[in-house]
Amino acid sequence: MRPTWAEINLAAIAHNTGVFRRVAGDSDLCAVVKADAYGHGAVEVGRAAVGAGAKWLGVAMVGEAAKLRSAGINVPILVLSEPRPSEMADLAQLAGVRPTVYSDAGIAAFASVAPIGSAVHLKVDTGINRVGAEPSDTVRLAKQIQRAGLTFEGLFTHFASADQPGDQFTDVQIAMFDQALAELSAAGLDPPIVHMANTGATLTRSDSHRSMVRVGIGLYGVEPSMALRDRCGELGLCQAIRLRSEVVHLHDVETGEGVSYGHKWVADRPTRLATLPIGYADGLTRAWWERGYVLIGGSHRPIRGVITMDQTVVEVDDKAAVGDEAILLGSQEDEFLRVGEMAEVTDTIGYEVLATVGARVPRRY
């Protein structure tokens, strides 16, 4: 067996859930576990989050909801985008799973296969411009939901840049959403569940909390943006993933010898190198090689040469031995490699770092 795996700390998930429950105040917490819980394992994370007080789970696809139900997780689940009409029959068989709708076709498709009174949530697009109903169409669609024999349980939107404190467009989105709510209220169509806050807004915009907040990246102890790194630290969020491998080969190169494909790195002195059985197919982005490092023996060990599909080469000292643990994310002795640090160095976001830790990397809990 390859000595590479991801250790998932479910106590950290429970801790982070508790932190966000306190931050959210009277609002219920929806733990977002789409994309296999951002690579952490949806079933295991879902259980931990629910056990720590999450009232809802959020997913992206019907199949993700089915997996949670098959595992015996019975809290309400929201599919955060409108399923295709061909998926509605499968969704209707999953008790307590709510679809998002934002079109006449979506409403009609679900109504044609779901029991009378089945609940849906209506998504309004307030400016992220991906999916959702136009705010001006909210009342009409809410009435259509009721005429179709469904229950108009929830209204929500999604922020474009709430992870940037002080962002003015978040104010615009809140105002647009509140206008849609006011029009619904005037028509006697108040939904019992209203939600708009993601992790960033939950941390910085209490005026957006409403009856429920949706927390994704923060649940895993990762900041949604560098601008919120300090805030996450103040709250004591704990990174839940520890990605580890180990040294499987040691060798020496002389001055002038190149390493890995293209010889992008050339030794300027005699150097001892260690090979690790982990590569970009496992989620270790190639862009990490130029300024990246791993932890071995509690010390930073720089990557030498480009990261390949299955292997990574790092510089070590004479104390290194085959079998030494190498940490790609997480803690070792007094050092800690943050997801956010890797994201910043490689010009991406923590979401992508987590989501690309591949399925061939076993998870251990």
Q: Are 237 and 351 in contact (CB under 8 A)?
A: no
Annotation marks residue 102 as catalytic = no
Residue with tokens 């998002």: 100
Residues of the chain with CATH 3.20.20.10: 10-235
Amino acid at 108: A
What confidence score (pLDDT) does residue 133 get? 97
How many C-beta atoms surround the C-beta of residue 185 within 10 A?
A: 12
Contact residues for 79 (Cβ-Cβ < 8 A; gap 6+): 59, 60, 61, 62, 64, 65, 91, 97, 98, 99, 100
What confidence score (pLDDT) does residue 23 get? 98
Dihedral of CA 334/338/344/346: which sign? positive
Which of 234, 218, 316 has the alpha carbon at shortest distance from 276?
316
pLDDT tens digits in sequence order for the chain, 365 residues long: 999 999 999 999 999 999 999 999 999 999 999 999 999 999 999 999 999 999 999 999 999 999 999 999 999 999 999 999 999 999 999 999 999 999 999 999 999 999 999 999 999 999 999 999 999 999 999 999 999 999 999 999 999 999 999 999 999 999 999 999 999 999 999 999 999 999 999 999 999 999 999 999 999 999 999 999 999 999 999 999 999 999 999 999 999 999 999 999 999 999 999 999 999 999 999 999 999 999 999 999 999 999 999 999 999 999 999 999 999 999 999 999 999 999 999 999 999 999 999 999 999 99
Residues of the chain with CATH 2.40.37.10: 241-364
Q: What is residue 99's three-state secondary structure?
A: strand
What confidence score (pLDDT) does residue 47 get? 99
CA distances from 245 to 10, 171, 279, 329 (A): 20, 45, 10, 10
Task: Provide the angle, in degrees to the nearest 10, between the axes of the packed helices 62-70 and 42-51.
Answer: 70
What confidence score (pLDDT) does residue 320 get? 98
- Say whether domain 241-364 belongs to CATH 3.65.10.10: no
Task: Provide the angle, in degrees to the nearest 10, between the axes of the packed helices 138-147 and 168-186.
Answer: 50
How many C-beta atoms surround the C-beta of residue 166 within 10 A?
A: 8
Strands (E), the chain: 5-8, 28-32, 56-59, 77-79, 97-101, 119-123, 151-156, 193-197, 212-215, 241-246, 249-253, 258-259, 265-266, 271-276, 293-296, 299-302, 312-316, 325-332, 335-337, 363-364
Residue 252 tokens read as 């020496």
What confidence score (pLDDT) does residue 314 get? 99
Q: What is residue 87's three-state secondary structure?
A: helix
How many C-beta atoms surround the C-beta of residue 324 within 10 A?
A: 18
Residue 217 tokens read as 């990246």
CA distances from 137 to 26, 80, 92, 141, 159 (A): 30, 19, 25, 6, 19
Residue 296 backbone dihedrals phi, psi, to 5 degrees: -135, 125
Contact residues for 253 (Cβ-Cβ < 8 A; gap 6+): 259, 267, 270, 271, 273
What confidence score (pLDDT) does residue 204 get? 95
Residue with tokens 């805030």: 231
C-alpha dihedral (146, 142, 66, 74), degrees to nearest 10: -80
CATH code for residues 10-235 = 3.20.20.10
